[in-house]
Structure 1
Amino acid sequence: MSRLNSNRRIQIDTSEPRYDEGDDETVDDSSNAAEDLDPFMGVKVRRKASRLRDFQGDYIDIQSRPHLMKILEKQGDRKVLFADKVIKFTGSGKMKRRILLVTDFAIYIADPETDALKRRIALAAVEKLCLSELSDNFFAIIIPTEYDLLMASTRKTEIVTVLVDATKSASDYELEVALSNRFEYNAAADIVKEVQFEEVEANYYLLGV
């Protein structure tokens, strides 16, 4: 089946919703201020708050959600490295709130209202992460054997760090983090979309979904 290419462009305010506090002044990690190497390799412009905040991991109190805990136990996953609500883009370009869970073996996508499991992806199936070079909240998880995930979160830095570390711990494989203001992802099995990022105002970017 041939893949459909889509280049619809929409404007999104990346300052909402805000889950983090602190100064959002942007900094260039290529400066000497970035003393330690991170998954962004000193290329991406990041908010100061994203570099200085402490990672907490669980932001939804996963222990208080028995249905999600039961799903994890059924899959044999007990160690939750990250849990939070994110924005997920569907194949048609719609935005939906989802729960993103990262364990030491897999990625889970769940409905925040019902805690119903929508998708489980083994970390071993992830080929790379795609991000822009700007200080936005968007990231794509590329899964060659399935369709990809395009999401947005104010905790993107923590998500990327957790995924890179978890993949390396599980398989000794260094997960690629690709930085570009234009990249393609498989929005569905037969749909390829190109995402383009462009800074318009202080908190706005154009996203082709």
Structure 2
Amino acid sequence: MTVLIAVSLVNGVVLTADKMNSGADENGQATGVQASVEKVATIRENIIISTGGVSPLGWNVIQTLKSTLGVEDEMSISKTIEYIGNTMRFAHNLFKKTYPNFENPESFYFVGIYDPKNNKPYLYHLSDQNDFRAELIDTIGVAGPQASSIRDFIIGKFSSLKDINELPKLLASAIRTVNEPTVSKDTVTLLSLYGKEDKKFTCPKVEIDEHGNIIM
């Protein structure tokens, strides 16, 4: 299992995920092997993505998107997210053809896009459950076990944040409330933030360990 959190801000988008990967064989059966992986990535400075489900499938999608969308272009937001959904669908169908005995190859994503021309953030959820048709998310999205309680936890503490630097710790603490053997207590958060004055993006990554400490 994986927990993904997505948050939109006035000046950007934020994605957080736990770091546990549970191995599976070509039939989709758990091997018992677990590893620490990053489930968030930057496609380009104003597009970030998080992935859950079958890890190799998610990372193949990310690498494809980096190679095709990594350079700035004039594609509209709607066309961009349509292209992203089509890429996910193609990769998922190819995986099922390649591994026909793999049971239930789950695949789900959050995509955060910030439009600097209109100063507007966009958050989308896509998954194999809805054939990768992008669902627009308002402010906060959570995917994975205990999604509702995680969302309530974040909402209950969001207004008390003093500044944006406290947000990764809040999102990490929300994931640490989940007690599932396949969800880790350590997390990584990726931000895409736009400065309206200098018209530049900053994309910091914040890793937090199982005790809530930022890893420098």
TM class, shorter-length: under 0.3
TM-score with structure 2 setting the length: 0.25
Which one has a larger percent helix, Structure 1 or Structure 2?
2
TM-score with structure 1 setting the length: 0.26
Considering Cα pairs closer than 8 Å and 6+ residues apart, tell me whether 1 or 2 has the greater RCO: 2
